[in-house]
Amino acid sequence: MGYPLWLLIAPPAAGAMLLLLCGKRTDRWGHLLGCAATIASFAVAAWLFIGMVRRPAEDRAVSQLLFSWIPAGALHVDFGVQLDQLSMCFVLLITGVGSLIHIYSIGYLADDPDRRRFFAYLNLFVAAMLLLVLADNYLGLYAGWESVGLASYLLIGFWDAKPSAATAARKAFVVNRVGDVGLAVALMVMFGAVGSVSFGAVFGATEQLGHGTLTVIGLPLLFAACGKSAQVPLQSWLGDAMEGPTPVSALIHAATMVTAGVYLIVRSGPVFDAAPAAQTAVVLVGAVTLLFGAFIGCAKDDIKKALAASTMSQIGYMVLAAGLGPAGYPVAILHLITHGFFKAGLFLGAGSVMHAMGDEVDMRRFGGLFRVLPVTFITFGLSYLAIIGVPPLAGFYSKDAIIEVAFAAGGVRGMLLGGAALLGAGVTAFYMTRVMLMTFAGHKRWPPDTHPHEAPAVMLWPMIVLASGSVFAGALLTAHGTLHHWLAPVLDETGIQVHSSTWILPAVTLAVVVVGVLIAARMYAAQGIPVHAPAGSVLTAAARRDLYGDAFNEAVFMRPGRRLTTAAAVVWERCVDGVVLGIATLVGGLSVSLRPLQTGFARSYALAVLVGAAAAIAAIVGTRIW
């Protein structure tokens, strides 16, 4: 059967092209076209999903060859797309949540003169993400990967008149390009070892390739994932990226772009399963990052940066699960989907608060907003309960599943990973309760000339839908192992959900969450919230500076890199350029020395010929005599 998979990508791609090429002539209705394009893509995705459900599990994956992309000798790459159970999860998330964020943006940027351009960039991002998850080979994935980076740069720097926004966009672009080198290196190694970059060829060759080769493929793939998903050591761009409009934070830095790294790891599961060293590196990166982001979130007074740190931490949970192999892949995707609902809801709720407070982001200047923003309070509150894992909301099912799988790894390794995930759950409960209390509870701390008001309906309805997903998504996806059975044909039959034999671990997790909530309540409800941030401890000061991530990168990478570049430039100038310039100088000098011989007089040339002939005759005679 011919399934029009290209129709998934075509509407947002066409919308972006039309809005950018037609310019200001589309200002009056450009936002409507942008929304319609993404909604159309979601409708196609829903239609394809229904058709997929109706087919047997082993026949659900479909692919389509669009054209021959690179027919160059031994390298032959077709531009094809595939839709299987794994990519369908991402397609529905990208287009569904993306449509809600597009609709929300109509109200959020209602007064922005460049709203049409913003929607063009949003459409471009959606099209790029769809290309990334639908490509049937690593080179097509790489094209989508780089396109997502471009769209992210444009959206973060949308308000480029602000120096901080322009700087944040450049930082995100550069850090992601550093990570993208890993994907490029992996592509080269794949082609050198396998002779192809298609998923089928690479995965089919894992049994023939040695552990060393697979490790050399897996580690660069992980490095690329660290850049796109803001994992240690390439996490430093995510907090600064909050300078972009809040819908950008919801779409890119909560629900879609930062999950691209998780998709890359899960899609490349056969590679990591056959490369234990690379798989161990994935686990370590996830465990470190989930704690790294959680501790940073505890000290942020900027509501968006607190949520950004939370995103870093939650993606760390997903990466940790993905590093645990087939048993972890389904729960990583489960948490990815539930996170898409509650984190997008949190960011849109933060945008509603900013809309009410004149774009203020400092939570020390909020307080008591539950009285004047009731819908925002309820929707934000449900997403908050979901992310900390309160049953029966979505995060309870997904995060607890990751903690369970981590402990199931067994031995000291399982205890360490499970302990890190459990500690992260408690810290998450602390900093998210802190955000709730500082924003909505207590007495008002805003200036007298501020008059908070609820957002318009076009912003509230997407928040309500996302809050509903935060409540029900976990139960729906885990009922009778729905998601796990859905993904099993693509990932591995052994990836069926691990069932806890007792209630002890869920109870312990919930107790840790309650402790985190109570500590935050004691600190920020009972003692009050200071208008000016206190100095705090050494750890607090470090967390406010993102645990010195920028300072580390500057000391370890930037300064040595600058010195290396300077040294290389000197070597190039003195050696390579010196040789080239030396030859040129020699030829120029000889030319100047020989130029007087060219007099232009026939008698001079005749004399030269005579002298030359005489010299030649003398040489011949002399040779015969000797």
Q: What is the pLDDT of residues 526-561, one digit of tens each?
A: 666 665 555 556 777 787 887 887 787 778 777 887
Q: What is the maximum span of the chain, computed from C-alpha positions, in angstroms? A: 120
| Residue-wise DSSP of 146-190 | HHHHHHHHHHHTTTTTSHHHHHHHHHHHHHHHHHHHHHHHHHHHH
Higher pLDDT, 345 or 579: 345
Of 506, 521, 543, the residue at which a domain comes to its end is 543
pLDDT in tens, 305-333: 999 999 999 999 999 999 999 999 999 99
User: Out of 104-108, 253-257, 336-340, 505-509, which region has the weakest mean confidence (pLDDT)?
Assistant: 253-257
Q: Do residues 414 and 429 lie in contact, with contact meaning Cβ atoms separated by under 8 Å?
A: no
pLDDT of residue 622: 77
Contact 342, 430 (CB under 8 A): no
| Mean pLDDT of the chain, nearest integer | 90
Could you say which of 509, 543, 577 is where a domain stops?
A: 543
| 478 and 618 together in one domain | no
| pLDDT 10s digits, 174-193 | 999 999 999 999 999 999 99
259 within a domain of the structure (yes/no): yes
Domain assignment of residue 563, given as a range: 556-594+601-625
pLDDT digits (tens, 9 = 90+) for 410-468: 889 999 999 999 999 999 999 999 999 999 998 888 888 888 999 999 999 999 999 99
**Cα distance between residue 395 and residue 213, in whole Å:** 37
pLDDT over 80 at 249, yes or no: yes
Domain count, the chain: 2
pLDDT in tens, 116-125: 999 999 999 9
- Whether residue 531 is found in the same domain as residue 574: no
The answer to whether position 184 is within a domain reads: yes
Give the integer Cα–Cα distance in Å for 133 and 136. 9
Q: Verify that 530 and 611 share a domain, yes or no.
A: no
Residues 491 and 576 in one domain: no
Cα 175 from Cα 172, distance rounded (Å)? 5
* pLDDT at residue 494 greater than cutoff 60: no
Domain end, chosen from 543, 578, 613, is at 543
Q: Is residue 90 part of a domain?
A: no
Question: Is 50 part of a structural domain of the chain?
Answer: no
My answer on whether 299 and 417 are in the same domain is: yes
User: Do residues 609 and 502 both lie within one domain?
Assistant: no
Q: Which residues does 372 contact at the CB level (< 8 Å), separation at least 6?
A: 356, 452, 453, 454
Residue 9, domain member (yes or no): no
Model confidence pLDDT, tens digit, residues 110-154: 999 999 999 999 999 999 999 999 999 999 999 999 999 999 999
Residue among 264, 407, 216, 220 nearest 327 (CA)? 407
Count the Cβ atoms, other than its own, within 10 Å of residue 151: 25
Domain match, 486 and 567 both: no
Do 383 and 267 lie in one domain? The reply is yes
Residue 368 belongs to a domain: yes
Q: Over range 574-598, report the average pLDDT.
A: 80
Could you give the CA distance from residue 5 to residue 72 in angstroms, rounded to a whole number?
A: 26
CA 320 to chain centre: 16
Neighbours of 178 (CB within 10 A): 17
CA-to-CA distance for 618 and 626, rounded, in angstroms?
12
List the single range of 288-292, 396-400, 597-601 with lowest mean pLDDT.
597-601
Strands 75-83 and 62-72: antiparallel
Report the predicted TM-score, pTM, of the whole model to 2 decimal places: 0.90
Give the helix/strand (H/E) hosting 307.
helix 303-322
Residues 235 and 290 in one domain: yes
pLDDT over threshold 50, residue 495: no
Is residue 2 assigned to a domain? Answer: no
pLDDT at 532: 56
Residues 302 and 414 both lie in one domain: yes
Place of tokens 């309650």: 514
pLDDT score at 372 = 94
Would you say residue 78 has pLDDT above 60?
A: yes
**CA-to-CA dists, residue 376 to 243, 453, 458, 474, 559, angstroms:** 22, 10, 13, 22, 45
What is the per-residue pLDDT for 373? 96
Q: Are residues 519 and 455 in the same domain?
A: yes
DSSP string, 327-339: GTHHHHHHHHHHH
Check: CB of residue 387 under 8 Å from CB of residue 428. yes
Backbone dihedral angles phi then psi of residue 66, each to the nearest 5 degrees: -90, -45
> Is residue 54, in this structure, part of any structural domain at all?
no
Same domain, 444 and 581: no
Asked if pLDDT for residue 612 goes beyond 80, the answer is yes
Helix, strand, coil percent values for the chain (each to nearest 5): 75, 5, 20
Crossing angle for the helix pair 163-194 and 211-228, to the nearest 10 degrees = 160
